[in-house]
Structure 1
Amino acid sequence: MRLKLSLVLALSTLLTIHAQEISDTSFGKGLINFVAKDSSFSIKFAPRFQVRSISSWDHNDSSYESPEHNFIVRRARLKFDGFAYSPKLRYKLELGLSNRDISGANQFNRNAPRYILDAVIMWNFAKNFELWAGQTKLPGNVERVVSSANLQLIDRSLLNSGFNIDRDLGIQLRHKTKISGNFLMREKIAISQGEGRNVTEGNEGGLQYTARLEFLPFGTFQSKGDYSQSDLKREATPKLMLGFTYDLNEDAVKERSVLGDYMFKSDGSLYQTDITTIFADAMFKYNGFSFMGEYAKRTADNPIATDVDGVTPTDDIVLIGSALNLQAGYLFPSNYEIAGRFTTVDYETVTNTLPSKQYTLGASKYIVGHKLKVQSDLSYTTLDGNEDNITFRLGFDIHF
């Protein structure tokens, strides 16, 4: 209740600011853009939401069952960003309001809705160096770091849902190096708590260490297009990013590193094991054509959780295995796009989780780029070649 009241008061204050103090803006560039008269701070407020319908058919023996339908507000976000004191000290605050955004309450975050997605300060303290502090996405697979506002299909892949390392609380150091000509290398390292976002009860396991290298042999993409799907800028020359991430979560206490269920023992304590996740990914764009490829692999020192005696297995198992995701699309001059995706996920036998493959075909109409668009996709998913599903999704995005 207090959070909702604070938001209402903050928004009311922003909306009463004199018009001359608000910079020119247009749809898709923030609902409010405000810069202090003395240029000591700025703030941009940009709400967005996604609504969609989903129809799903499960295969039963020799035929498909009657479809299940639902309509959801998949995401509803309030985003604030700008600079404080100096343009070299930036910040980002993003709040989630939909049920999917705030779900996942447990005793380690006081059983409260998890409103905060990002709360991070970014300080450009020296040439080509930035220090980040707070809660935000870790430098993991490119698909996860791409904002959900800038996706080519209705949602991310099975690789991402099973293997991504998501958001966490900690610090990150980022640097970029010009190797020669347009060839750029970016280095990102992070030390974080290792339990995901909005944990308030301290660190139950060890720390998490993440390192990522990115190579851009043909120079930077337009408008940070390496972290936005679809070639909306229609790159005039080929652009490529190759990324490699190594992540170690020491004494991890969740089944999917920073995500998934906590692994409890019978006495209420938590099972701990080291979990390692690696990613290799690529983003390519040229003249309306885009391609993204990802490989992920997760291992654990002792994936089968054991009880207090160190021998008896509990019901918890770290979801170790690997996945491959390939995605491509072409944007026509009319701003219609067709895209396809193939994903395969192969968990280790010990997890008792069936391997799966998914084929997705999508079509989108970009009215104002990713800020206003209509998307649809059709997916065929098979589990171990036996259990099949067909899902059709239709979605609408609006981002001020």
Structure 2
Amino acid sequence: MKKLLSLAMFLYLYNGIAQEQKSINTADFKLDDKGLNFVFNEGAYEFNINGFMQPSVSFEKTEGQDDVHNFNAKRAYFILSGKAAKEKISFLIQSDFSQAKPLLDAWIAYHPYSWLTLTGGQKQTFLNNREMMYREDKLQFTERSRVSGLYSNTGREFGFFVESKFGKKIGFVPQFAVTSGDGRNSFGADSRDSDLGGLKIGARLDVFPLGYFTDGNDKFTADLAHEKSLKVLIGAATSRNKGASNAVGEGHADFMFYDASGQNNLTDYEQVFADVLLKYNGFSFLAEYADASASNLDMQYLDAAANQILAPTQISEFLVLGESYSVQAGYVTAKGLSFDLRYENTKPEFATNLNSLLPDSNSYTFGITKYFKSNNIKIQAALTSIENGNLAKTTVGEFVMQIGF
């Protein structure tokens, strides 16, 4: 009898301890609207393992040229993230193993107040156009717009970032950044491949005149949350890169300029972006404007011996210069089927220089997406027609499958 009572007491105590531990320590692996999540949560501390994959089939057809077909793993992301609530610290490490240099993001953030976040490390910057602020698995089409691709590379930079948020009925989100100005992995392969030029300094201000979007719904273009009332986001960003040596200021040593004495004399590079995002009951509309210019162009030479001076419009062959705009709209049905349209126009600063990196072009894109489990499982198809001035017309088609975990 005593043995039976002892066993019953042991089982009772063990069950109580297990229940208490379960309320504090959890390790979940499940499929929900956030994807396949592997989460360790100890209440005050949380650690997450996730990512996504995008198998892709695409073709490109240019008049007078052979067709190009691609079958590949377009993106293969692996993400580690976590937070310490008491210490007000969070971190993220994000890699894309479809790239030769996979590291995309590696940062640590401090959250001293609910309205303020201070981040240091390599991060997707907010100094670009709206779409370039979205992670690659959250795009409305199979690929970013031409405006995004022409004025940015990956959108990642190494530096210090300040993000804040104020207001309720009317929201204000001011943001400020100081970065290396050389993009991701900006200090090169080793200590001899050092950062070039000066710092890049910029800021962005986003305004929500009708209140904030449903939580997380401002991280997409598509209205997956089906906002019950009209929501609007108006934003603008500007930056100045002191001494750029990459076409969009996201790299270094792609080219070099010199002064008369043979010393490095890199051009300053400025970018300005403006955007408007509207969402209501499954409908979304995004308009973006981009402009890039260069300064510090006096007496620049292409060689250290100062024999070849930079011609008046030749700078547009090294830096993306000019203005562009993109307009896209779409509708997501209650069953997760989306129909999307996009129009883009790009204008180089020097139209007479046919070698300008920014082309004189128009493009049209039609896309269809089927969302399963919100954005994490989806199938997308898109067809784009590109008209590059007097050059041959190009047609690009792509089919992408995505699963987030």
TM-score (norm 1): 0.84
1:53 paired to 2:57: yes
Structure number with bigger Rg:
2
Gaps of 5+ in 1: 1-17, 103-113
Which of 309-318 and 71-80 deviates more? 309-318
Contact 2:29-2:36 at 8 Å conserved across structures: no
Which of 278-287 and 352-361 deviates more? 352-361
* TM superposition shift of 1:172: 0.8
- Flag the 1:241–1:209 CA change in 2: closer, same or farther, 3 A: same
CA distance in 1 between counterparts of 2:349 and 2:335 reads 45
* TM superposition shift of 1:23: 3.6
Q: Which residue of 2 aligns with 1:115?
A: 102
Q: Which residue of 2 aligns with 1:195?
A: 182
* TM superposition shift of 1:261: 6.5
Q: Which residue of 1 aligns with 2:27?
A: 22
Alignment of 1:126-205 (within 5 A): 126-139=113-126, 140-164=128-152, 166-178=155-167, 182-200=169-187, 201=191, 202-205=194-197
* AA at the equivalent of 1:272: L
Contact 1:30-1:45 at 8 Å conserved across structures: no
Structure (1/2) with the larger strand percentage: 1
Deviation string 1:44-83 (CA, Å, 9 cap, x unpaired) is 11121111111221112xxxx5532111211111011120
- Flag the 1:275–1:330 CA change in 2: closer, same or farther, 3 A: same
* AA at the equivalent of 1:115: P
Deviation string 1:211-232 (CA, Å, 9 cap, x unpaired) is 0000001111113212212111
- Flag the 1:86–1:23 CA change in 2: closer, same or farther, 3 A: farther
Contact 1:48-1:78 at 8 Å conserved across structures: yes
Deviation string 1:89-127 (CA, Å, 9 cap, x unpaired) is 11111011003xx3xxxxxxxxxxx22111111211134
Which of 351, 355, 358 pairs up with 1:352?
355
Alignment of 1:1-400 (within 5 A): 21-23=26-28, 25-27=30-32, 28-36=34-42, 39-60=43-64, 67-84=67-84, 86=86, 88-99=88-99, 102=100, 114-139=101-126, 140-164=128-152, 166-178=155-167, 182-200=169-187, 201=191, 202-259=194-251, 262-264=254-256, 271-302=265-296, 306-310=302-306, 312-313=308-309, 317-349=318-350, 350=353, 352-353=355-356, 354-400=359-405
Gaps of 5+ in 2: 1-21
Contact 2:35-2:373 at 8 Å conserved across structures: no
Deviation string 1:122-180 (CA, Å, 9 cap, x unpaired) is 211134111111110111211001111111100101100111371111101111221xx
* TM superposition shift of 1:313: 4.2
SS at 2:88 equivalent: strand
* AA at the equivalent of 2:376: K
CA distance in 2 between counterparts of 1:31 and 1:379 reads 34
* TM superposition shift of 1:86: 2.7
Number of corresponding residues? 362
- Flag the 1:191–1:73 CA change in 2: closer, same or farther, 3 A: same
Which of 187-196 and 361-370 deviates more? 361-370
* AA at the equivalent of 2:186: V
* TM superposition shift of 1:391: 1.4
Q: Which residue of 1 aligns with 2:5?
A: none
* TM superposition shift of 1:40: 4.5
CA distance in 2 between counterparts of 1:54 and 1:270 reads 42
CA distance in 1 between counterparts of 2:384 and 2:251 reads 25
Contact 1:186-1:214 at 8 Å conserved across structures: yes
* AA at the equivalent of 2:272: I
- Flag the 1:260–1:363 CA change in 2: closer, same or farther, 3 A: farther
The RMSD of aligned alpha carbons is 2.5
